A and B are shown apart, each in its own frame.
Chain A
Amino acid sequence: MYKYDQYDQAMVDARVEEFRDQCRRRMEGHLTEDQFKPLRLMNGLYLQLHAYMLRVAVPYGTLNGQQMDALADIADKYDRGYGHFTTRQNIQYNWIKLEDAGDILADLAKVEMHAIQTSGNCIRNISADHFAGAAADELVDPRPYAELMRQWSSFHPEFTYLPRKFKICVIGADKDRAAMKLHDIGIQIVKNDEGELGAQFYVGGGMGRTPMIAPMIREFVPLDQLITYAEACLRVYNRYGRRDNKYKARIKILVHELGKEEYTRQVEEEFQHMLDQGIEPPFAELERIRPYFADPAFETGLSDDIDRSDPDFALWVDTNTHAHKAPGYVSAVISLKPVGGIPGDATAEQMHLMADLAREYSFDECRVMHTQNIVLPHVKKADLYALWQKLEAAGLGTANLDQIGDIIACPGLDYCSLANARSIPVAQKIAQRFEEKGQSNTLGELKLKISGCINACGHHHAGHIGILGVDKKGKENYQLLLGGSEGEDTSLAKITGPGFDEDGIVDAVEKATEVYLNEKQEGERFLDTYRRVGMAPFKEALYG
């Protein structure tokens, strides 16, 4: 894992001081609320329906035990004993007092954490594959590149007042587990024919009210030009991205309006110019960062056998573990989606437990997934049973990864001031319905995602089944979408037809799964069946 040196620490400490100073000037009346708002946002502080919300950055989703403990302590000390892991691999607290914010940032800085640029129209925290450095199918660990970009994007003087927020994601495997093409910039680290590593750039993806899949604009950027190329992408956006209409301000609209070719031409021109400007970090910096992400000391000669005599355990192993590159190891997913729970929430005690388990079983490392679960990346197969028993005892052993109960849901009307409808109760009802039917396993991989409004924080466009909360004459109403995917086969979901009320949407989801079970052919997932048979049979069942 990356460790701060004196410079990183000095920068984070300076930020805490800056924020304390901004709070002071706000309280003394030197800053108006309008002037203060973007400053607090750039430190992750939103004003929500009931209180301030604080979003803490988890760079590329990676945490050690001490950091997870610190997150738990913040939940206990400054919030109501829990926190919410988000689809951008961060954590949010929902009940924060403004006057505590400076102290929280100081507590975070002690464990090399911060809330810098977790909001605002700047480059946000950079996300990455949650199985980075562990997955059997990975080419390289994307996190050294994400860390280099973290440094480059922190307090970037030119790109702090962009037209709109800017999200970057880096992956290092062909299988995309991070919705890379749904980011403003998605980067895949690839190898060229000469065997050299480079960065493949996808620009202009996003969700929100105009979902778009990012087109590839450069097949191969040499690693010693990575930062310069990113800088060129951003400068063209900063200069020409729309600022007249907030809803058209994301880079996806610029790329769409200019066309991919013209945008690319402008970037390449800026890039050629910038190559002479000395922007690129010394290559030695990447070489300094890389060893921090080197493999931990895996034991060798381990057995791959798992004792499956306990059927509940066997089920959990089948759903919640992921193939590891080292023999005898797996990545184990801790589900934060117990039936009836709030997707992504964890209590302080659960966080402390996860920290302990990371230390005991996973080389002191855990990851936040964009599906709002936690991964222990490097667990010995021989330890799995003991690990699972401890998870079970703490209500963290739900076996539902990527199944219908593993729902992504945004905060919705329970917390969010922009919401049209509640997301959390719908998620709870759907999970309960399928739990009662005992169907979760029969349905297999089925990604269900719920957003409480068109902003799409819950990724509904990318759900095999998506649900979008809308306002219908002052009543909460839910539209059903089918056929989205965020993986290597990224696609955007389509609306089935008229919306449903809260109970109606639960029934509608059930009907859609019945169509699948009737139509499915050998080996097909819900998504495969939908892609083969199309929308018609689903429409028939829903509205016929």
Chain B
Amino acid sequence: MAELISENPAEALASGDVQFRFRDDELVSDPAVTVDAFVGQSNAVAVRIEPGDDARELLPHLDRIALVEVNFPAYTDGRGYSAARILREAGYAGELRAVGDVLIDQLSHMKRCGFDAFAPDAPLNEDDAKAAFDRWPHVYQSAADDRTPIWNLRHER
């Protein structure tokens, strides 16, 4: 995975701008359409998943998607974590952006579920965010990132 790139200093960011990104390709700036609109329309390259949407509806179309935004209207609604993993499990390699109520203490879990771009409603303190991304020295279970779970480290030789 690419290094963390902070797009801009927090002061210069507007609500909803991408603040952190773990990709070195060009930022996709096409407007994201709803899942319904996307499935029924052939030319969009960016789509936004709401918590109630079924991410699997996008699976037949992955090759034409450059950006998936997953919206977290409230950070307590964890459906977006499953949506992200489902896309990565299906081989989606484009940008996966967490948008909405994205806060410091959810960043590391989001990243583990496959998010590689973060566009919080309220820009985050950069040092706190970096500390959060680096919080866990190890991980117990496998997820959508490439970290090796503890139980594999233990039995590796």
Residues of A that sit less than 8 Å from B by CB:
5, 7-8, 10-11, 14, 17-18, 21-22, 25, 30, 35, 38-39, 121, 151-152, 154-162, 227, 235, 238-239, 243, 273, 277-279, 281-282, 284-285, 288
Contact = CB atoms under 8 A, between A and B. Distances in A.
9 nearest A-B pairs in the assembled complex, by CB-CB distance: A161-B78, A157-B112, A157-B109, A281-B151, A285-B151, A7-B150, A284-B155, A158-B81, A10-B137
A279 B141 CA distance: 7
B82 interface: yes
B144 to A, nearest CB: 8
A285 B155 contact: yes
A255 to B, nearest CB: 18
Nearest to B88: A277
Interface stretch (B13-21, B27-35, B61-69, B128-136): B128-136
A161 B77 CA distance: 6
A11 B137 contact: yes
Interface of B: 51, 54, 75-79, 81-82, 85, 89, 103-106, 108-110, 112-113, 125, 128, 131, 135-143, 149-155
Given A18-B135, A238-B81, A158 B154 contact: no
B139 to A, nearest CB: 7
A30 B150 contact: no
12 contacts: A11-B137, A14-B137, A17-B135, A21-B131, A35-B75, A151-B150, A157-B110, A157-B112, A157-B141, A158-B85, A158-B143, A227-B141
Contact of B140 (A25, A155, A277, A282): A155
B104 A25 contact: yes
Nearest to B108: A157
Contacts of B103: 35
A235 B77 contact: no
Given A35-B103, A159-B78, A288 B155 contact: yes
Contacts of B125: 30
Contacts of A25: 104, 128
Most buried by A among B103, B113, B155: B155
B146 to A, nearest CB: 11
A14 B128 contact: no
Given A38-B76, A162-B78, A238-B78, A152 B141 contact: yes
B154 A10 contact: no
Most buried by A among B125, B137, B150: B150
A18 B149 CA distance: 20
Contacts, number: 104
A466 to B, nearest CB: 32
A11 B138 contact: yes
Nearest to A162: B78
Nearest to A236: B82
A155 B105 contact: no
Contacts of B54: 239
A247 to B, nearest CB: 16
A288 B103 CA distance: 37
Contacts of A277: 89, 142
A35 B142 CA distance: 27
B137 A157 contact: no
A7 B109 CA distance: 18
Most buried by A among B78, B108, B136: B78
A39 B154 contact: no
Given A11-B138, A14-B135, A278-B142, A157 B113 contact: yes
Contact of A238 (B82, B131, B150, B152): B82
B151 A282 contact: yes
B82 A158 contact: yes
Contact of B149 (A8, A121, A158, A281): A281
A281 B125 CA distance: 36
A416 B81 CA distance: 33
Contact of A160 (B104, B109, B152): B109
A285 B78 CA distance: 29
Most buried by B among A38, A157, A284: A157
Nearest to A30: B125
Contacts of B78: 121, 158-162, 238
B128 A30 contact: yes
Given A7-B153, A238-B79, A273 B89 contact: yes
B152 to A, nearest CB: 6
Contacts of A159: 78, 81
Nearest to B137: A10
Contacts of A39: 105
A461 B106 CA distance: 37
A39 to B, nearest CB: 6
Nearest to A243: B77
B121 to A, nearest CB: 12
A161 B155 contact: no
Nearest to A38: B76
A273 B55 CA distance: 15
A25 B103 CA distance: 12
B85 A5 contact: no
B143 A282 contact: no
Contact of A158 (B75, B77, B113): B113
A321 B89 CA distance: 51
A239 B82 contact: yes
A277 B140 CA distance: 16
A161 B81 contact: yes
Nearest to A280: B142
